[in-house]
């Protein structure tokens, strides 16, 4: 397989989605047929669902935490971490994943746009904190500052992804955009491709053609863990 011929002086904008973690054993949402590990997404991943049944939501995220802690970064996460060491300027890495696997592989993640499974925050005063605890039977203690309910630090349906102002500012700083394992159907990330500069080389790596395939210069189809390490070999 020919390599992507990335030059050490290239300035990369990288966007990853659930597909990059599939080979680590973390199911993508789309593959689950609209149910998330058997749950209706609105019940477990929306502010309304949390209001209605916080214990159900915490049980769901505790299961996710427990499962992801048993999973490890795969060859695709590793390849991106190695790439970072080979480039003159650090790639700008945005991920839609909440699983922390890029961080565990050693990549510098500029933004986990959809939050982080291993952080919680107060619903009212909003400051996130590291939290690997499992809450299967009891809710977390209320916020010690304001008494608000503690919720997972995840961007839920109906909420705005993080750091969009930063993304819009840095999109035009790169000369290569590399997108891995995302369907091109989750917005606003699916639109980033239309905002890069005209001279930017745009590359997609993933199992199947994304919905926004027409905007990419290159499509490399296959499992990320199998093809990305070869594609990124210098």
Binding site for ligand NAD (CB under 6 A): 17-19, 21-23, 26, 28-30, 96-99, 114, 181-183, 185-186, 206-208, 210, 223-224
DSSP secondary structure, 82-112, as one string:
HHHHHSSS--EEEE---S-HHHHHT---SEE
Active site residue 77: no
When the beta carbons of 30 and 119 are compared against ligand NAD, the nearer one is 30
- In the numeric block, the tokens 């199998």 are attached to 226
Lookup: tokens for 16: 């990853």
- Determine the Cα–Cα distance for residues 111 and 14; give it in Å rounded to an integer: 11
- Determine the Cα–Cα distance for residues 15 and 96; give it in Å rounded to an integer: 8
Q: Least CB distance from residue 206 to ligand NAD, whole Å?
A: 4
When the beta carbons of 14 and 26 are compared against ligand NAD, the nearer one is 26
Q: Least CB distance from residue 186 to ligand NAD, whole Å?
A: 4
- Determine the Cα–Cα distance for residues 214 and 209; give it in Å rounded to an integer: 9
CA angle 70, 13, 64 (to 5 degrees): 20
Identified catalytic residue from 77, 102, 114, 220: 114
Q: Least CB distance from residue 177 to ligand NAD, whole Å?
A: 16
Q: Least CB distance from residue 89 to ligand NAD, whole Å?
A: 26
Separation in Å, CA 107 to CA 42, 73, 93, 102: 31, 11, 8, 5
- Could you give the residue numbers annotated as active site? 114
């Amino acid at each position: 397989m020919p390599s992507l011929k990335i030059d050490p002086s290239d300035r990369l904008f990288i966007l990853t989605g659930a597909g990059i973690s599939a080979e680590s054993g973390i199911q993508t949402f789309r593959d689950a047929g609209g149910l998330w590990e058997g749950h209706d997404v609105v019940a477990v991943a929306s502010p309304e669902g949390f209001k209605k049944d916080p214990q159900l939501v915490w049980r769901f995220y505790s299961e996710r935490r427990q499962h992801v802690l048993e999973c490890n970064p795969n060859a695709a996460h590793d390849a991106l971490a190695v790439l970072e060491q080979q480039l003159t300027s650090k790639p700008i890495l945005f991920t839609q994943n909440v699983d922390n696997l890029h961080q565990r592989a050693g990549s510098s993640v500029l933004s986990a746009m959809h939050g982080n499974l291993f952080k919680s925050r107060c619903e009212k005063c909003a400051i996130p904190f590291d939290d690997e605890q499992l809450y299967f039977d009891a809710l977390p203690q209320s916020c010690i500052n304001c008494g608000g309910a503690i919720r997972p630090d995840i961007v839920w349906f109906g909420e705005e992804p993080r750091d969009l102002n930063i993304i819009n500012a840095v999109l035009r700083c790169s000369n290569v955009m590399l997108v891995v394992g995302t369907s091109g159907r989750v917005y606003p990330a699916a639109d980033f491709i239309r905002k890069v500069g005209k001279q930017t080389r745009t590359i997609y790596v993933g199992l199947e053609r994304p919905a926004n395939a027409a905007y990419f210069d290159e499509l490399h189809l296959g499992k990320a863990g199998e093809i990305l390490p070869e594609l990124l070999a210098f």
